[in-house]
């Protein structure tokens, strides 16, 4: 689960990370009032969307008067902001963060990520802040500093100091600030079951203070039951409506740009199926995992989600039934396929496969059957392209 910048900053501040003063607003009038209450000679008006690259897309603007803040808020609210991370469809700006803009002299990158390969929290820092970390790695890999945290003991002060000294140019006082700030970020990451935390940029102000000018956090969905306070930060408006609908029915759905809809049980099988579709010359329209309890009702809901994408020209159902039962899945497929307007390819294997295949065969529907994954992918691609499957 992703959250907005102002929410991430609120959580980081609770763990001792210095942030600029700011307020979230929803109307131009609230924006002007917030600027007045914050008091400053310069304010940053920041669009709150779940994507990076807002500044380059015009989603972050500096204003010198509350009246200007109101005008900028009026121009941003309700618009669709398109950045390199949103894709061409963009995201709607429904809230803004009005923040006191302090002059600064230096930008630093600081990020925390869960490294699944090493099973450690990895801390990444760079003296070249204000840039995407991917760009820094490509252009100046030597400028990227990394530390792995041993989970048994946690982040140690000496590790944070090593990063601070590696960044160069920090005074002794600023090194102490960096260490305290980094330890606070680590505690927030660990205690809230985050999967990513990023401060970009972490700035050095003209007064010599380190301040988190931006903040991002993402959380492990599987751990949210331990953090009810994070549920309130969820913003469904920033998600693909289909993904939000899938979540309500216990389905895992991610929309893609292809034309072959996928209904599969198991994340690994779903990934293998999408790879096989690509190998056969097609493009998957989605990732959809119906999970272990694929009842007829859940399968029918999966069909509705897949068909809500107008680009879908064929559907591939690939079920390996272990916990599931093929006859259950087949009942759901038949139920959903009666008014289907696109070709449907079904491959069943596992528990009660014979009963499931019988239900498909006796349905009288033009369902294309397949015995192997490769065969199913080839037939789905052929059907999507209007060829004989």
Q: Is 301 annotated as a binding residue?
A: no
Task: Find the catalytic residue in 30, 198, 301, 331.
Answer: 198
Q: Is 55 annotated as a binding residue?
A: yes
The answer to whether the beta carbons of residues 257 and 309 sit under 8 Å apart is no
The answer to whether the beta carbons of residues 360 and 369 sit under 8 Å apart is yes
Q: Is 68 annotated as a binding residue?
A: no
User: β-strand 210-212 against 144-149: which pairing, if any?
Assistant: unpaired
Distance CA 136, CA 57 (A): 20
Q: Is 214 annotated as a binding residue?
A: yes
The answer to whether the beta carbons of residues 84 and 55 sit under 8 Å apart is no
The answer to whether the beta carbons of residues 316 and 376 sit under 8 Å apart is yes
Copy the structure tokens of residue 276.
């096989």
Copy the structure tokens of residue 98.
């009005």
User: Nearest to residue 131, comparing CAs of 154, 108, 147, 104?
Assistant: 108
Residue 198 is a catalytic residue: yes
Q: Is 169 annotated as a binding residue?
A: no
Q: Is 46 annotated as a binding residue?
A: yes
Task: Find the catalytic residue in 5, 6, 97, 109.
Answer: 109
CA atoms 177, 183, 185, 191: torsion sign? negative
Return binding residues: 46, 53-55, 99, 102, 107, 200, 214, 265
Return binding residues for ATP: 46, 53-55, 99, 102, 107
Catalytic residues: 109, 198
Return binding residues for Mg(2+): 200, 214
Return binding residues for substrate: 265
């Amino acid at each position: 689960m992703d959250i907005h910048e102002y929410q991430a900053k609120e959580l980081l501040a609770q763990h001792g990370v210095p942030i600029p003063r700011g307020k979230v607003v929803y109307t131009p009038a609230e924006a002007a009032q917030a600027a007045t209450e914050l008091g400053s000679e310069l304010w940053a008006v920041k669009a709150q969307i779940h994507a990076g690259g807002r500044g380059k897309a015009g989603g972050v603007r500096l204003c010198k008067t509350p009246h200007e803040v109101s005008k900028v808020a009026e121009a941003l609210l309700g618009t669709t902001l398109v950045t390199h991370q949103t894709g061409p469809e963009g995201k709607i700006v429904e809230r803004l963060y009005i923040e006191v803009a302090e002059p600064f002299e230096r930008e630093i990158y600081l990020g925390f990520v869960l490294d699944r390969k090493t099973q450690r929290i990895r801390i990444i820092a760079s003296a070249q802040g204000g840039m995407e970390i991917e760009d820094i790695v490509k252009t100046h890999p030597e400028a990227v500093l990394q530390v792995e945290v041993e989970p048994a003991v946690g982040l140690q002060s000496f590790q944070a100091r090593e990063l601070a000294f590696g960044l160069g140019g920090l005074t002794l006082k600023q090194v102490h600030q960096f260490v305290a700030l980094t330890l606070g970020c680590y505690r927030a990451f660990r205690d809230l079951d985050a999967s990513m935390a990023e401060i970009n940029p972490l700035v050095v102000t003209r007064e010599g203070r380190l301040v988190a000018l931006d903040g991002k956090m993402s959380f492990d969905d599987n751990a949210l039951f331990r953090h009810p306070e994070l549920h309130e930060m969820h913003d469904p408006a920033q998600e693909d409506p289909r993904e939000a609908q899938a979540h309500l029915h216990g389905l895992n759905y991610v929309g893609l740009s292809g034309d072959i809809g996928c209904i599969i049980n198991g994340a690994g099988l779903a990934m293998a199926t999408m790879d096989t579709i690509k190998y056969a010359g097609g493009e998957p329209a989605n990732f959809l995992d119906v999970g272990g309890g694929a009842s007829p009702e859940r399968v029918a809901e999966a069909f509705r989600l897949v068909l809500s994408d107008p680009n879908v020209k064929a559907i591939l159902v690939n079920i390996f039934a272990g916990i599931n039962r093929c006859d259950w899945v087949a009942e759901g497929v038949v139920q959903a396929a009666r008014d289907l307007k696109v070709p449907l390819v079904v491959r069943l294997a596992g528990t009660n496969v014979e009963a499931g295949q019988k239900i498909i065969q006796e349905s009288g529907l033009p369902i294309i059957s397949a015995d192997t994954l490769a065969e199913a992918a080839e037939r789905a691609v052929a059907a999507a392209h209007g060829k004989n499957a």
